Amino acid sequence: MKQLALDESEWSDMVATMREDNQKLRKEATQYKEINRILLQENLDLKDYLEENNMMPNGTCVDLKDIYAVFAGTEEEDEVESDE
């Protein structure tokens, strides 16, 4: 049992490592969200262009707005939590 008990410096090191990992993962998540946003907008613009020029095959594409609508609620919850 004594070997399993961590002293204060070991706990501090663990917390510092977890904090660094957490910051790194948050930064990556933010970057991937931005990439995802850009690609979604490009896909929507491309679909609009194809539809305007009657080049869109019927029923071959999914509605991207419906797919991403499931994430709309999570962004609002994140904003509410950050405001508090």
pLDDT at 78: 57
pLDDT per residue of the chain (84 residues) written in tens, 0 to 9: 566 687 888 889 999 999 999 999 999 999 999 999 999 899 889 888 988 888 877 767 777 777 777 777 665 555 545 554
pLDDT at 67: 76
Query: How many other CB atoms are there within 10 angstroms of residue 50's CB atom?
Result: 13
Q: How many CA atoms lie within 13 A of 44 on its CB side?
A: 12
pLDDT at 3: 67
pLDDT at 79: 54
Going from N- to C-terminal start, the domains of the chain cover 8-83
Residue whose tokens read 């991207």: 64
